[in-house]
Amino acid sequence: MTDRRKFLGLLAASPLLAGIPSIGQALAQATSLPGVDNLIARAADALDVFDLEAVARRNIPPAHWGFMATGVDGEETLKANREAYSRYQLRTRRFVDVSKMDMSVDLFGTKFRSPIFLCPLSAQRAFHPEGEIASGKAAQARGQLQVLSTVSSTSVEDVIAARGSPVWFQLYTTNNWDITVKLVKRAEAAGCPVVAVTVDLPAGRNTETVTRLARTDTRTCTSCHAAGGSSPLTRPMFAGNDITGISVSSPSLTWDFIKRLKDVTSMKVLIKGLDSGEDAALAVKNGADGVVVSNHGGRATETGRGTLESLPEVVAAVRGRIPVLVDGGVRRGTDVLKALALGATAVGIGRPYVWGLGAFGQPGVERVLDLLNNELRLAMAGVGARSLREITAASVIRKS
Ligand SMILES: Cc1cc2nc3c(=O)[nH]c(=O)nc-3n(C[C@H](O)[C@H](O)[C@H](O)COP(=O)(O)O)c2cc1C
């Protein structure tokens, strides 16, 4: 096997194939993707997050894998998120003493080890029996921020108790104000200092990949999912509520929601899921304490821009008045650095930590954080930045 891979690697790099890019590319891909027979056996062996993706792919059943991987329609936004990062390159600086490095970030008075945070991802027990508890303990062990979804498979109280420190709460607004207020009060009472309101799914979505992969899944869903199937309304945060007629989001939502929300909570209010300068300016005007430039990991509006492409106009509109966070397509520490250089305060990861979770549980998520933090450290050293403040627009350049 090793010999075959070596041979393919040599062949892919051969100048003989230089004029035939498709064959060269196909072979290069064949050599870079681990096959099922050479998957890593321990989280510690992962060299990048993709090693964990391969193991998670083997472990997670097709319907659940589809739920994680899916974008919407033809998945153009999903691809755009990733492609945006390859349009920027790092601009190196030399002879800077980078022997001591501080990657910490302060968000609303709490210091985190690095600007990398765990995005809210619903129903994590679909990927590993310990779900959000494992992710939470990993985030706690590594000193990173975790944002917990409204439709998590474990309640906010249980996650906070298991990890022993607060998380931020992601809010789906629902179409019922009373239930929304209950969710918000519950998160606040549990100790969440920040609520991130997701606004990018006002009217549902068309997720094709999840449906296609679910069709290939031979298991019987009802043997795990109770009656009601995998509806988000069956999750713990909705327990005890009459969910008749309830939907997790509402098509009639307008900006006054933010003011109403601020009137019922003392948590900081972030808006997650905008990508235009106009909306960023309105967010500040309507009292938001921060924004997350996000397109739900390519799972909301189709044929949108990659979030890295949207980030500069949001940063320009916000003019430093509130923090601007970003997520979508981040797979490398260099990606994190690029987002910081374009003005982000913190950078979220979604699917990569679920790959770690699905591969090895808590140690897998810890490994994802270690890998990305280490890659970020190396990238910072490369551009001569000893702290996040020293990462500036001059640290990157857009490809001509
Ligand atoms: C399986 C899955 C579930 C998600 N669930 C939620 C959610 O409950 N609430 C939310 O605001 N965003 C949710 N998101 C979006 C993430 O918070 C985040 O914006 C996105 O995953 C970042 O992109 P990335 O996966 O490319 O890193 C989900 C994303 C995935 C992949």
* Mean pLDDT, the chain, integer: 92
What does the pLDDT look like over 291-307, one tens digit per residue? 999 999 999 999 999 99
Q: What is the pTM of this model?
A: 0.91
What does the pLDDT look like over 339-389, one tens digit per residue? 999 999 999 999 999 999 999 999 999 999 999 999 999 999 999 999 999
Smallest Cα–Cα separation from 194: which of 295, 276, 270, 136? Answer: 270
**Residue with CA nearest ligand 1 atom 11:** 198
Looking at the fold, whether 241 and 328 belong to one and the same domain comes out as yes
Looking at the fold, whether 131 and 271 belong to one and the same domain comes out as yes
**Domain, as residue range, for 1:** 1-32
Query: In this predicted structure, what is the pLDDT of residue 228?
Result: 53
**Residue with CA nearest ligand 1 atom 3:** 121
User: Which of 49, 119, 270 for a ligand 1 pocket mutation test, highest count of atoms within 8 Å of Cβ?
Assistant: 119
For residue 105, pLDDT over 80 is answered with yes
User: Which of 75, 83, 121 for a ligand 1 pocket mutation test, highest count of atoms within 8 Å of Cβ?
Assistant: 121
For residue 25, pLDDT over 60 is answered with no
Work out how many domains the chain is built from and give that number: 2
Q: How far apart are CA 5 and CA 19, in angstroms?
A: 22
- Quote the ligand 1 centre to 265 CA distance (angstroms): 24
Cβ atoms 291, 318 nearer than 8 A: yes
Cβ atoms 43, 272 nearer than 8 A: no
What does the pLDDT look like over 198-253, one tens digit per residue? 999 999 999 999 999 999 998 887 767 765 567 888 899 999 998 999 999 999 99
- Quote the ligand 1 centre to 361 CA distance (angstroms): 18
For residue 81, pLDDT over 90 is answered with yes
Looking at the fold, whether 170 and 285 belong to one and the same domain comes out as yes
**Residue with CA nearest ligand 1 atom 20:** 297
Find the CATH number of the domain harbouring 160: 3.20.20.70
Mean pLDDT, to the nearest integer, of 34-49? 89
Residue 225 annotated as catalytic: no
Per the domain annotation, does 144 fall within a domain? Answer: yes
Mean pLDDT, to the nearest integer, of 244-267? 96
Looking at the fold, whether 118 and 191 belong to one and the same domain comes out as yes
Q: Residues near 66 by Cβ (< 8 Å), separated by ≥ 6?
A: 209, 210, 211, 212, 213, 214
